[in-house]
Amino acid sequence: MGVTAEGRAARTAEADEQCVKAYVAAGGPEVGVALVAVGGYGRGELAPFSDWDLVLVHDDDVEPGAVAEQVWYPLWDTAPKLDHSVRSFSEMLSASTGDLRVALGLLDIRHLAGDRGLVLRLRTTMLAHWRKHARALLPELRTMSVERHRRAGELAHASVPDLKEMYGGLRDAVVIKAIVATWLIDVPAVDLEKSRRALLDVRDLVQEIAGRATDRVVPEMWDELAKRLELADARTAQAHVRTIGRRLTHLSRLAWRRVDGVLERSRPGAPRRPKLAPLGNGLALASGEVVLAPGARPSRDPLMLLRASALAAENGVALAPATAARLARDTPALAEPWPEEARRLFVRLLGAGRGLLAVWETLEETGAVSRILPEWERIRLLPHASIIHRFTVDRHTIETCIEAVALLPRVARPDVLLVAAMLHDIGKGSLTEHSVAGEPIARRIATRMGFPDEEVDLISMLVRWHLLLSTTATTRDPDDPATVDLVVETMGDAEALALLTALTEADARATSTQAWTSWRARLIRDLAARAAKVLDTGIAAGERPQAAVEIPESVRSGSVSFRSEPLADGARVWVIAHDRLGLLADLAATFAVARLPVRACRAWQQGGFGVSVWDLDDSYVDAAVLRTRFSAITEGRLDPATRLAPSAAARGSEPSVVVRPEASSKATVLEVRTIDRPGVVYTVAAALARMEIAVRSAHISTLGPQAVDVFYLQEAHAGALAEQRAAEAAHAVRAALER
């Protein structure tokens, strides 16, 4: 990694030399005028595609003359991107007063050529001005930073990290340095500079790999970045970058917390010294942080780390990093199994809501998590395989606990729900399916925590089946009794089902808005309610009868009816036409050509008519346009196979097509997994129509780049397909998707 630091130094030295030559060639004087670098170049750190931000500054009573025009010309030929200006001493001070962003940039000023005394006075004046007005300016800087964090996200946990703008990025390093320059507070300077330079090293390499100015690390870069950082693999490179981001995030929070303390004490009537409020058991609250009280003996209390963490999270205050580090070092190890009080404190910590996040990150940053949950290292900063996730696995887990708090009133065992939320993804990071891998790990942890055997079984079962409701509800026919039977047989009793329902919602909400739309929520809650009714009453679920629909006269006369109705998060389209093989394929092609994403379709025969209902993601649906597209397809004026031909990337992927005989007793269920693209449903339905196989319903689930589509098949005038016929159908669909 020293290569990139050396590269920055070499680029900076070369740029400096060019600037000096340009200044001399322009006849720049040695007194009263100077050429300075500001911002990143002011720190002498030029990335491969850095901007050159230069200012020709002069004393108020000195006129720079021709230098102001001539100094830039030779630099335009060599500078990648030159941002330049000419300002007097007073104008520099005025600019820093009127614009906070300018003020931050002018805190990094470096002499290049000309009057060194002028630059020294300028630097001294800028710093003095910043320190004088810091108390008034810091709240504005805080607001700007918070808004940037909200907009950009967090570097340590984002799917595609932005090394500059995200929380924990290079801009935060600049902000922290500016806060420290006020002399109001201090942070560990060595940690700050080490993290900042390490992140600059990464950005240099990212820009070299991309061949352009960029701050974003896209997924395909990680392998090459690992090689250039001399790290083992892409996952190690991700952990390296995210660890830097998390460290800078921690330093940023520490800096702002200390700023808040200073500003609070500067209010009229506020005490000049931090007030120490006893919390009991050797703990106290000081300046918004839980700290050790005078005379505390952590070496005698194995519960003190958990107690301090729970108190901090419940009160929405920080756990002082120094306190967390000392408690992790000095508190005795918990007995195994844990005493009941330890388990109760841990559940209180998990149930603290939003206050959990900052406290848990402090526990991670100080190494204290390994004292509580050593298995956490499995998922620490682990990226998710699907880009639908907003966060890394560890952060997603904490967000799931936070989301679960609002659902606690719905369940009889809140402690079981919270611990299951904490452990639901603990199996990720191995080649085994994570819910399967996670079950024995969760069982071991719950046993160590001292849960009774029955609750250990319940927690491990929730971890094993935490995807059951979401997967079943979105990829199975909700009206088929086998769908409800699957949930009933797996969960066994109503209490376990209630816990699973809450865990499913918390998990989905913590994932992204895509994972918990009103459509998904409706399907999951409906399935859970039907299964709960069976568990409560003991009466098996029956097939819900399909209500007859009115057949329009125009359809009886040979036309096709399209009718759309808006939904809260999309639209529903009803289509009625004379029934025939291939009707569903033509309709699927119609929606695909119109680029309307289908998430579910149900079709049935009523008399001699085919009725189908299509749930779409898009709210803007014009039934007349759909009717026109459908006519063009059925009349041969539009070839959907040509229009919907897969891209080279999609064509190169290998689809999975599997028959699921356990999923229904009334139909043959075909599960298709492939790269998502327009036309998948059409391709499958057309292949089946060529075999004279009818599609009773289709259930489309798309999360990230993968489509998981399930089709309920029947013979055109009979029931489920015979085993050989089902195998032939699967082969035909696979061949069609591979073309």
Q: Please give the DSSP secondary-structure letter assigned to residue 305.
A: H
How confident is residue 114, by pLDDT bands cut at 50, 70 and 90?
Answer: very high
Q: Supply φ then ψ for residue 124, to 5 degrees.
A: -60, -45
Mean pLDDT of the chain: 90
Query: What's the full length of the chain, in residues?
Result: 739
Cα separations (Å) of 286 from 277, 292, 670? 6, 9, 62
Greater pLDDT, 569 or 485: 485
* H or E stretch covering 710: strand 706-715
671, 680, 617: which is closest to 653 by C-alpha? 680
How confident is residue 50, by pLDDT bands cut at 50, 70 and 90?
Answer: confident
325, 452, 441, 421: which is closest to 374 by C-alpha? 441
pLDDT recorded at residue 532: 95
Q: Rounded to whole angstroms, how far apart are CA atoms 328 and 182? A: 33
pLDDT recorded at residue 1: 42
CB-based contact 483:472 (threshold 8 Å): yes
What residue type is 47 in one-letter code? Answer: A
Tens-digit pLDDT profile for residues 593-645: 999 988 888 888 888 899 999 988 888 899 999 999 999 999 999 999 888 88
Q: Please give the DSSP secondary-structure letter assigned to residue 293.
A: P
Q: CA torsion angle for 376, 377, 380, 386 (degrees, to 10)?
A: -90
How confident is residue 658, by pLDDT bands cut at 50, 70 and 90?
Answer: very high
**What does the pLDDT average to over 665-678?**
88
Cα separations (Å) of 302 from 273, 320, 336, 359? 31, 18, 12, 18
23, 36, 210: which is closest to 117 by C-alpha? 36
Tens-digit pLDDT profile for residues 52-77: 889 999 999 998 888 988 898 888 87
Q: Is the predicted pLDDT of residue 386 greater than 90, yes or no?
A: no
pTM assigned to the model: 0.81
Q: Which residues pair with 577 in a beta bridge?
A: 610
Q: Rounded to whole angstroms, how far apart are CA atoms 404 and 387? A: 22
Q: Rounded to whole angstroms, how far apart are CA atoms 390 and 148? A: 17
What residue type is 428 in one-letter code? Answer: K
**What does the pLDDT average to over 714-723?**
85
* Half-sphere exposure at residue 537, Cβ-oriented, CA atoms within 13 angstroms: 9
Tens-digit pLDDT profile for residues 194-222: 999 999 999 999 999 999 989 999 989 99
Tens-digit pLDDT profile for residues 305-326: 999 999 999 999 999 999 999 9
Tens-digit pLDDT profile for residues 89-107: 999 988 887 788 888 888 8
Q: Is the predicted pLDDT of residue 2 greater than 70, yes or no?
A: no
Q: Is the predicted pLDDT of residue 375 greater than 90, yes or no?
A: yes
**Residue 109 CB neighbour total at 10 angstroms:** 22
Q: Is the predicted pLDDT of residue 226 greater than 70, yes or no?
A: yes
Give the Cα-Cα-Cα angle 342, 348, 350 (nearest 5 degrees).
105
What residue type is 447 in one-letter code? Answer: T
Cα separations (Å) of 190 from 108, 248, 251, 256? 18, 12, 11, 18
CB-based contact 487:468 (threshold 8 Å): yes
Q: Rounded to whole angstroms, how far apart are CA atoms 693 and 686? A: 10
Q: Please give the DSSP secondary-structure letter assigned to residue 564.
A: E
Strand order in the sheet with 109-114: 82-88, 52-58, 33-38, 109-114
pLDDT recorded at residue 270: 61
Is the domain defined by 4-133 classed in CATH 3.30.460.10? yes
Greater pLDDT, 698 or 377: 377
pLDDT recorded at residue 271: 63
**Is 95 buried (19+), middle (13-18) or exposed (0-12) by CB count in 10 A?**
middle
Q: Is the predicted pLDDT of residue 356 greater than 80, yes or no?
A: yes
**The CATH fold of domain 559-738:** Alpha-Beta Plaits (3.30.70)
Q: Is the predicted pLDDT of residue 333 greater than 70, yes or no?
A: yes
**What does the pLDDT average to over 407-416?**
95
Written as one string, the DSSP assignment of 157-216 is: T-SS-BTTTSBTSHHHHHHHHHHHHTTS----HHHHHHHHHHHHHHHHHHHHHHTS---B
Q: Is the predicted pLDDT of residue 191 greater than 70, yes or no?
A: yes
Q: CA torsion angle for 453, 458, 461, 465 (degrees, to 10)?
A: -170
Q: Please give the DSSP secondary-structure letter assigned to residue 46.
A: -
420, 572, 585: which is closest to 499 by C-alpha? 420
Q: Which residues pair with 286 in a beta bridge?
A: 276, 289
pLDDT recorded at residue 194: 94
Among 438-442, 614-618, 645-649, the range with the most confident prediction by mean pLDDT is 438-442
- Cβ-proximal residues to 556 (8 Å cutoff; 6+ apart), any chain: none
Q: Please give the DSSP secondary-structure letter assigned to residue 176.
A: H
Q: Which residues pair with 613 in a beta bridge?
A: 574, 602
| Percent residues over pLDDT 70 in the chain | 96
Q: Supply φ then ψ for residue 465, to 5 degrees.
A: -115, 25
pLDDT recorded at residue 385: 67
pLDDT recorded at residue 78: 76
Among 44-48, 71-75, 334-338, 697-701, the range with the most confident prediction by mean pLDDT is 334-338
Place of tokens 């989301």: 403
**Is 490 buried (19+), middle (13-18) or exposed (0-12) by CB count in 10 A?**
middle
Would you call 195 helix, strand, or coil by DSSP? Answer: helix
- Cβ-proximal residues to 227 (8 Å cutoff; 6+ apart), any chain: none
pLDDT recorded at residue 30: 93
Quick check: bond before 337 cis, omega within 30? yes
Q: Is the predicted pLDDT of residue 652 greater than 80, yes or no?
A: no
Q: CA torsion angle for 263, 266, 270, 274 (degrees, to 10)?
A: 60
CA 135 to chain centre: 34
